[in-house]
Amino acid sequence: MFSYLYIIYFFIITIHASSYFSKCPEEDSLRECLDQYHIKGLINFRDNVMAYNNDINFEFNKRIIHFPVAFVHPIDEIDVQSAVKCAIKLNFPITARSGGHSPEGYGLGDKDCYLVVDLRTLNKTTVSITSQTAIVGTGNTLGSLYKELQQYIFAFPAGDSPSVGVGGHMPGGGIGFLNRKFGISSDNILDAQIVLANGTVVYNSKKYPELLWAIRGAGNAGYGIITSLTIKIYPIQKIISSVQLEYDFDHIPSIFSAINQLGSNLHQNLTFTIDFVASQTVVRGIYLGSASELQSCIQEFIKLSRPKRVSYIENDFYNLIINNQEKNDNSKRNKTSEVFKLKSFFINSSGLSYEGIKYWMRFAKSFKCPITTSIVLLGGGRVNEIRRNETAFVHRGFLYLLELVVTLQSEICIQELEIFSKNFQQNYTNFESYQNYVDRNLDNWQCRYYGKNFEKLVEIKQKYDPYNLFHWNQSIPTNTNISCNDIDTTG
C-alpha cells in the first residue's frame, strides 16, 4: 500500500535525514559560494536536520520526493540572484518552489541534489487602487493574495486552493473562479521581475516582449526564477453570491446535459465548478451579484439538471472562496501519507458526449482508489475571447476543463488510471492537457501542454537559458525535434 510505505519513509527521514544520505558533489564548494555572497535569508543544508525536514515535508504531494542539496529562503531578488550565480559557477541544477503544490514534485527538481530556491519569504503585496494593479511576491499563496485584495474590495481570477503558491500557479495558467469574467491568471500578468540564467535581474519583463509572452502560460517551465508579478486586479461588489446544488450519482448525465446545453450562454458573472466525489455530486457557482440575480441566472440549469437540494449564500469574495478550502488544505498538509495523481482533459465546445459520460461513470464507480472529478466551466467567457497564440497559454475555445484527482493506495490504481486516461483522451476529450496539472506519464506532453506555441517557446528558451540551467523533466528544452504544427487538436 502506498500510504503505509510513505508513512514508514517519512518516519525515517524525519528522525535523521542527514545520516541516510551522502554529500552531494561539490556540496562544500556550494556552501562556500553561498557564504561569499552573504545571502541574507536562511539556508538549510541536510545537516540542519529539523529545518531541512520541515522544508521537505512542506511538499503537498508526498508521492514523489527528492532530496535537494539545500534550500535557500531568499528575502529579496538579490538573494535569488546570488543563489543562481552559485548554481552557474558550480554547475548545480537549480529550481524554484512557491507553494509546494507541483503534482510531480518538480519544486524539488527531478532528482536528488538540486539547489532549491524556496520563495515563501517573498510574500509582499502592493496594491494600487488608482491603476487597478498589484505587485505580488511569488512566495504569496492564493489565500494571502485574496485576503489582501479583499481589503480594497478587489479580486483576481485564479484557483480556490488557498495554500497554492502564486509563483507556480499564475505563470502556468491559473484556472478557477472569475475566469469567465476576467480570463485566467496568466492573461492578467502585466509584468514580472525575473532572475535569468545568466544571473542578471530583469526588473521589467515587459521590456522583453517575447519573454513576457512566454511566462504568460509557460512561466513555470524553466525561463528563470520569477520573484514578483505585476497583475491586473478588478473591483468587485462588496457582497457577491454563491449557489450549491446537490445531486445523486445517477443524476450525473442530466448535469452534463445541462452544462453542455447552457454552459456557453450563462452570464459571464457566473463561474461554475462541479465536483463528483464518491456518491455525492455538488455544483458550485460564484456570481458577481445578488442572490436574487443568481437565482434568475441559474433557473434554467436547475430545471434541466433537477438537483435534490439548492442553497444560496451571500458574502464577500474572500469568505466565499477561501473559508472552507483553507480548512481542507490545512487538514491535508498534516497527512504525511497523502499521495495523489492528477489528470486533466479539455472538453470541446459541444461538451462531453453521452458515451464519454458513461465511460467515465463506469470507471469512477469501479475504481479501487478514492477519486474526485472536477469540472471548471470555461465556455462563454473571457478565456475563449483570447487567441491561441496571443500568450503561451494555448488552451482556448473549450467548454470546460475536466480534472481527475486520485489518492493512490496501490500500484493497481496507477495502472488502471493510465489505461482509462489514454482511452478517455483518445476517444472522448480534446488532445490537449493543462500544464499546471503536470503529469510525468503523459505522452507527447510538449504538444498537449503548449500546442503550436511549443516551438516558439523553445526558441525563447534558447535565447534566455541557452545552457539549460533551469531544467527538469517537462521543462521547456533548449532544442527539440518535435513539431506540434501538424497535430490535430480538435478531436
195/317 same-domain check: no
Q: So what's the pLDDT on residue 323?
A: 66
Q: Residue 214's pLDDT band (boundaries 50, 70, 90)?
A: very high
256/273 same-domain check: yes
Has residue 265 been placed in a domain? yes
Q: Quote the crossing angle between the two packed helices 142-150 and 317-333, to the nearest 10°.
A: 160
The phi, psi pair for 221, rounded to 5°, reads -120, 20
Has residue 150 been placed in a domain? yes
Has residue 191 been placed in a domain? yes
Q: So what's the pLDDT on residue 280?
A: 87
Has residue 255 been placed in a domain? yes
101/201 same-domain check: no
Average pLDDT over residues 151-169: 96
**Per-residue pLDDT tens over the stretch 285-323:** 999 999 999 999 999 999 999 999 999 999 999 999 886
Can you give the pTM of this predicted structure? Answer: 0.94
Q: What percent of the chain has pLDDT over 90?
A: 88
Has residue 396 been placed in a domain? yes
109/167 same-domain check: no
Structural domain count of the chain:
3
Has residue 454 been placed in a domain? no
Beta-strand runs (E) in 200-239: 201-202, 225-232, 234-235
Cell of 41: 535569508
Give the integer Cα–Cα distance in Å for 195 and 192. Answer: 10
38/12 same-domain check: yes
Supply the CATH number for residue 28's domain.
3.30.43.10
10/77 same-domain check: yes
414/372 same-domain check: yes
Cell of 9: 519513509
226/289 same-domain check: no
Query: What's the burial of 121, exposed, middle or buried (CB within 10 Å: 0-12/13-18/19+)?
Result: middle
Do β-strands 154-155 and 234-235 pair in parallel, antiparallel, or remain unpaired? antiparallel
Residues in the chain: 491
Supply the CATH number for residue 192's domain.
3.30.465.10
101/134 same-domain check: no
| DSSP 8-state symbol, 360 | H
Give the integer Cα–Cα distance in Å for 54 and 250. Answer: 44
Average pLDDT over residues 202-208: 97
Supply the CATH number for residue 314's domain.
3.40.462.20
Give the integer Cα–Cα distance in Å for 319 and 336. Answer: 28
Q: Sign of the C-alpha dihedral, residues 177, 179, 184, 185?
A: negative
Has residue 148 been placed in a domain? yes
- Starting at the edge strand that comes first in sequence, how are the strands of the sheet with 225-232 ordered? 125-128, 133-137, 225-232, 189-195, 201-202
Q: Residue 148's pLDDT band (boundaries 50, 70, 90)?
A: very high
Q: Which amino acid is at 436?
A: N
Task: Say if CB 222 and CB 476 are below 8 A apart.
Answer: yes
Domain boundary among 97, 118, 139: 118
Domain boundary among 192, 220, 235: 235
389/315 same-domain check: yes
Residue 293's domain comprises 240-447
Output 157 or 14, whichever has higher pLDDT.
157
273/369 same-domain check: yes
Has residue 339 been placed in a domain? yes
Task: Say if CB 37 and CB 85 are below 8 A apart.
Answer: yes
Give yes or no for residue 259 having a pLDDT over 70: yes
Q: Residue 229's pLDDT band (boundaries 50, 70, 90)?
A: very high
Q: Sign of the C-alpha dihedral, residues 421, 424, 425, 427?
A: positive
Give yes or no for residue 366 having a pLDDT over 90: yes
Domain boundary among 118, 150, 175: 118
Q: So what's the pLDDT on residue 324?
A: 55
Q: Residue 6's pLDDT band (boundaries 50, 70, 90)?
A: very low
393/260 same-domain check: yes
Give yes or no for residue 5 having a pLDDT over 80: no
Alpha carbon of 354 to those of 251, 305, 343, 367: distances in Å?
13, 15, 20, 20
Output 348 or 7, whichever has higher pLDDT.
348
Q: Which amino acid is at 119?
A: L
Give the integer Cα–Cα distance in Å for 217 and 73. Answer: 25
Least confident range from 45-59, 251-265, 328-342, 382-396: namely 328-342
Mean pLDDT of the chain: 92
**Per-residue pLDDT tens over the stretch 428-483:** 999 999 999 999 999 999 999 999 999 999 999 999 999 999 999 999 999 999 99
